[in-house]
Structure 1
Amino acid sequence: MTISSSIFKAYDIRGIVDDTLTEDAAYCVGRALGQLALSRGKNEAVVGRDGRLSGPRLCGALADGFRDAGVNVVDVGMVATPLVYFATFLLGNGTGVQVTGSHNPPQYNGLKMMVAGETLYGDTIQGLLKWIQTEKPVRGVVAGVERGTYRELNVWPDYLANILGHIKLARPMKIAVDCGNGVAGAFAKTLYEALGCEVTELFCEVDGTFPNHHPDPAHPENLQDLIACVKNGDAEIGLAFDGDGDRLGVVTKDGEIIYPDRQLILFARDVIARNPGAMVIYDVKCTRHVAKAVKAAGGEPLMWKTGHSLIKAKLKETGAPLAGEMSGHVFFKERWFGFDDGLYAGVRLLEILSRGSDPSAELNALPNSSSTPELQLQTAEGVNFEIVKRLQLEGKFPSSESVNTIDGVRAEYADGFGLARPSNTTPVVVMRFEADTDEALARIQGEFKAAILAVSPDVDLPF
């Protein structure tokens, strides 16, 4: 069996179905993960899939790989990614794989993986590739290995019961949900109605061709239908989910998009109120208002590297009750399990907002500043890392108060911040800027422009 090394990314496995990501590749990864699980004392793994058309056969090949390695498989079927994570806690094995392309186009699919409680990323994912290249597995049970068993499990009733057991809304609410034809559509209405909400559905029929709009709430163009629905209907708030249900988007009655870093401020205030002094982790792309709000609430802010696997690992290391990143992944350890779950983040949001009479006013009152969307400097493969490395060593940011280099370069100013970091998934330098005024924003961007051109004069900057 041949396998493309290009599918082994920083945080997951991802590729074009039947081109770079084949059934043989899924089988080989299953075998490699099976070996890794057994080496960590785990002989059972959960598998699930999102609503993509290729999901059933890729998941079947993955399960065959696990079983041929001698690992027992529990198949939870077509579910949102958080339900696979939940199943690993429910069963106590800490080991599971979701076959998902997340927010990528329909021709893509991939694997999000955890083994023995660790979400895989970086060198561990590359280690799977090395094992496959060295061992060259073929289909069939290895001599002396007893083939793993297979069973199916409906994990949804336990997931729902767990949430209803500890979350109660202060009053019924009217909400709209847009699932973009992603797999969250199979669960959102039932979940929120069980909490006492009246739910207006948009594109909740699971369809792996995504016929209406792309299932990615990080981009405003994908929220326009939801904005129109909330503005023109009787819903108090709008919730949107990405293709596999682990990220949340939020829109208000007046059409404002509440980006995830501002959502995190609301969650942080709520969690710290019950856990004085608690640490809240946020990634380098988030607004500086997160740190200010956490401190003002009596908590301890910690800025960390971007990437859901990296944030999850830091959460586990520190024992913090809450973490979040700009992309929309939010991790509740308080009253939950510490994995990213867009459906559950929506529940916690409604729990807070139901205590007041005007959710939109409460959300719009969250601290805000002038800012840019995520800007991308396109480079050749690997050049993005070279540019940022030189920025870290040689970059000059004359009016900044400090420069943080844990993940790229984030220069902090009295009136804003600027960020340049190398993407771990595509050959781009990701940039973001925020300031108290438009003039300050222009000044900070000017300093970054000069610093980048000093180390790489030929680049075509996106600002």
Structure 2
Amino acid sequence: MKLFGTSGIRMRNLSPKIAYKVGSALVSLGYEDIVIAKDTRTTGKLIESAIIAGILNSGGEVTKIGIAPTPVLGFNSREYDAGVMITASHNPPEYNGIKMFNKNGVAFNKYEEEKIERVIFDNNLKYVNWNEVGEVFDDSKAIKRYRDFILNNVDLEKSYNVVVDCANGAGCLVSPYLLADLNCKVISLNSHIDGRFSGRLPEPDEKNLKETMKVVEALGYIGIAHDGDADRAVIIDEKGRLADFDKILALFCNYIVEKTKTKKIVTTIDASMIIDEILDGKAEVIRTKVGDVFVAEKMLEEGAVFGGEPSGTWIHGDIHLTPDGILTGLRVLEMLDYYDEKLYKLLDRLPSYFNIREKLPCKEEDKVKVINYIIEKGEEVFKTKPETVDGVRFNLEDGWILIRPSGTEEFIRIRVEAKSREKAEELLDKGVKLVKEALKV
């Protein structure tokens, strides 16, 4: 059994028994001073109590922040051995999860997560006597420290009109207030705490943001929408359109390269070729596996100041290393200052390519076989050498195809991007055929 997926632990009706063991395992592995926060989910207190019990019973100490966004937890982790965030991010309300952060604000990697699993499954948990049980402390200043830090690192010349939609999540406590601190006129939607997500579901996609987009369009404002723990942001332009994830990422990459003169940008293997085209050699585009921890670790390795995923999970390494949707919203406004232009005009100048996504059922035990087959046979099919950072990607002059195993479900995912619909459909057909062949081998 595996506890960890691509972004910590996430489960429907997450058991407090698992949470207790995770807390105990952390201390058993030497993380003895831990800070903990939770998003707004109704099971947050239950899971928090269980983790704390595990930490205390193993002799560790806990500092509670309470309800707070993931970037607040990540930022404050620097003062402790580790940080624990109780969140299922964009998942529906019946889910909850646990994500852990190191002192530098970077999420635990696969190696660190596997160590926790081994301690739990081998039952090597540490327990202490009654007189060695740890203590619990409360920190009421964690959000203020984060707000002050962000204000010291963001500078807006203009005052913007902003609609911010916090999805009834933890961003309610921070995002609208920071915008107001920077002299923006703020209209808040779904910005009261409610773990049932009564305003909208926490996934900030076009389906869930229809009403928000109508409000933004009617007002002609900029829209910022978060997921449940505010580690992501999606942007809505002045015309009420959800900014294309690839375009807004490419636009920001160009801005940060021009502003900081950095020579390296980190993104994931599923990111668009628009990034390469807009940068046009001004900076190297380095691609990693899908997942914020891979982006953050590559940024540290390469000395890059920015890394982002097309999902809206961006890491502003010149400020801090935790994915931060609140900071992303503010820095998009900084970008508008820099270009002195409406967002919709900036986006409309970028090329639009054809994107197709497909997923094919694949048992967990068959995933390695399928990917190995694609690596072996794909070069002949696509007439180019594969990139194997995460799955298999084939780059062509007028498009690319990525075939990779899902990290959370029994599927092989295919993503295609091309400059024409015909080319996109051709690439997809070839990819689907290869996967089906591999499954028969």
Shorter-chain TM-score range? over 0.9
- Which amino acid in structure 2 is aligned with residue 253 of structure 1? E
Give yes or no for contact 1:178–1:241 (8 Å, CA) kept in 2: yes
Q: Give the match for residue 250 of structure 2.
A: 265
- Which amino acid in structure 1 is aligned with residue 400 of structure 2? F
Q: What is the CA–CA distance in structure 2 between the aligned matches of 1:316 and 1:341, rounded to whole Å?
A: 17
Q: What is the CA–CA distance in structure 2 between the aligned matches of 1:177 and 1:162, rounded to whole Å?
A: 21
Superposed CA offset, 1:67-87 (max 9, x none): 222222111110011110011
Q: What is the CA–CA distance in structure 1 between the aligned matches of 2:67 and 2:383, rounded to whole Å?
A: 49
Q: Give the match for residue 330 of structure 1.
A: 314
Q: What is the CA–CA distance in structure 1 between the aligned matches of 2:265 and 2:155, rounded to whole Å?
A: 24
Q: What is the CA–CA distance in structure 1 between the aligned matches of 2:121 and 2:416, rounded to whole Å?
A: 42
- Which amino acid in structure 2 is aligned with residue 431 of structure 1? I
- State the Cα distance separating 1:214 from its structure 2 match: 1.7
Q: Give the match for residue 133 of structure 1.
A: 121
Q: What is the CA–CA distance in structure 1 between the aligned matches of 2:370 and 2:32, rounded to whole Å?
A: 44
Superposed CA offset, 1:53-107 (max 9, x none): 0101211221222222222211111001111001112x2x351010001111211
Give yes or no for contact 2:37–2:68 (8 Å, CA) kept in 1: yes
Q: What is the CA–CA distance in structure 2 between the aligned matches of 1:383 and 1:11, rounded to whole Å?
A: 22
Q: Which moved more, 1:105-114 or 1:348-357?
A: 348-357
Q: Give the match for residue 364 of structure 1.
A: 348
Task: Please tell me whether residue 187 in structure 1 is matched to residue 174 in structure 2.
Answer: yes
Give yes or no for contact 1:278–1:321 (8 Å, CA) kept in 2: no
Task: Please tell me whether residue 174 in structure 1 is matched to residue 170 in structure 2.
Answer: no
Distance 1:401 1:6, change over 3 A: closer
Q: What is the CA–CA distance in structure 1 between the aligned matches of 2:173 and 2:358, rounded to whole Å?
A: 33
Q: Give the match for residue 21 of structure 2.
A: 28
Q: Give the match for residue 285 of structure 2.
A: 301
- State the Cα distance separating 1:10 from its structure 2 match: 4.0
Distance 1:344 1:119, change over 3 A: same
- State the Cα distance separating 1:326 from its structure 2 match: 1.9
Q: Give the match for residue 153 of structure 1.
A: 139
Superposed CA offset, 1:105-145 (max 9, x none): 2111110112344522324323212212323649xx51498
Q: What is the CA–CA distance in structure 2 between the aligned matches of 1:375 and 1:249, rounded to whole Å?
A: 23
Q: What is the CA–CA distance in structure 2 between the aligned matches of 1:159 and 1:27, rounded to whole Å?
A: 28
Distance 1:204 1:390, change over 3 A: same
Length, aligned pairs only: 438
Distance 1:9 1:76, change over 3 A: same
The SS at the match of 2:404 is strand
Give 1:80's match in structure 2, choosing from 57, 65, 69: 69
The SS at the match of 1:250 is strand
Give yes or no for contact 2:262–2:305 (8 Å, CA) kept in 1: no
Superposed CA offset, 1:292-345 (max 9, x none): 32344x2111111111122222122222111111222111111x1122110111
Superposed CA offset, 1:236-289 (max 9, x none): x11111111101111212233223332222222222224334210110111011
Q: What is the CA–CA distance in structure 1 between the aligned matches of 2:114 and 2:246, rounded to whole Å?
A: 31
Task: Please tell me whether residue 393 in structure 1 is matched to residue 389 in structure 2.
Answer: no
Structure 2: 5+ residue stretches without partners: none
Q: Give the match for residue 152 of structure 2.
A: 165
Distance 1:60 1:282, change over 3 A: same
Task: Please tell me whether residue 11 in structure 1 is matched to residue 11 in structure 2.
Answer: no
- Which amino acid in structure 2 is aligned with residue 427 of structure 1? E
Give 1:122's match in structure 2, choosing from 110, 113, 122: 110
Listed as ranges, the matches of 1:45-444 within 5 Å are 45-89=34-78, 91=79, 93=80, 95-117=82-104, 119-135=107-123, 137=125, 141-143=127-129, 146-154=132-140, 155-217=142-204, 219-235=205-221, 237-296=222-281, 298-334=282-318, 336-355=319-338, 356-372=340-356, 374-396=357-379, 398-444=381-427
The SS at the match of 1:102 is coil
Q: Which moved more, 1:5-14 or 1:300-309?
A: 5-14
Q: What is the CA–CA distance in structure 2 between the aligned matches of 1:310 and 1:277, rounded to whole Å?
A: 19
Give yes or no for contact 1:119–1:313 (8 Å, CA) kept in 2: no
The SS at the match of 1:348 is helix
- Which amino acid in structure 2 is aligned with residue 16 of structure 1? R
- State the Cα distance separating 1:397 from its structure 2 match: 5.4
Q: What is the CA–CA distance in structure 1 between the aligned matches of 2:86 and 2:425, rounded to whole Å?
A: 43
The SS at the match of 1:222 is coil
Structure 1: 5+ residue stretches without partners: 459-463
The SS at the match of 1:215 is coil
Q: What is the CA–CA distance in structure 2 between the aligned matches of 1:52 and 1:428, rounded to whole Å?
A: 28
Give yes or no for contact 2:378–2:386 (8 Å, CA) kept in 1: no
Distance 1:134 1:145, change over 3 A: farther
Give yes or no for contact 2:156–2:334 (8 Å, CA) kept in 1: yes
Identity %: 26
Give yes or no for contact 1:173–1:354 (8 Å, CA) kept in 2: no
TM-score normalised by L of structure 1 = 0.89
- State the Cα distance separating 1:357 from its structure 2 match: 4.1
Show structure 1 runs of 4+ deviating over 6 A: none
- State the Cα distance separating 1:234 from its structure 2 match: 3.7
Q: What is the CA–CA distance in structure 2 between the aligned matches of 1:317 and 1:173, rounded to whole Å?
A: 36
- Which amino acid in structure 2 is aligned with residue 76 of structure 1? I
Give yes or no for contact 1:416–1:434 (8 Å, CA) kept in 2: yes
The SS at the match of 2:224 is strand
Q: What is the CA–CA distance in structure 1 between the aligned matches of 2:130 and 2:302, rounded to whole Å?
A: 42
Q: What is the CA–CA distance in structure 1 between the aligned matches of 2:188 and 2:404, rounded to whole Å?
A: 37
Give yes or no for contact 1:9–1:125 (8 Å, CA) kept in 2: no
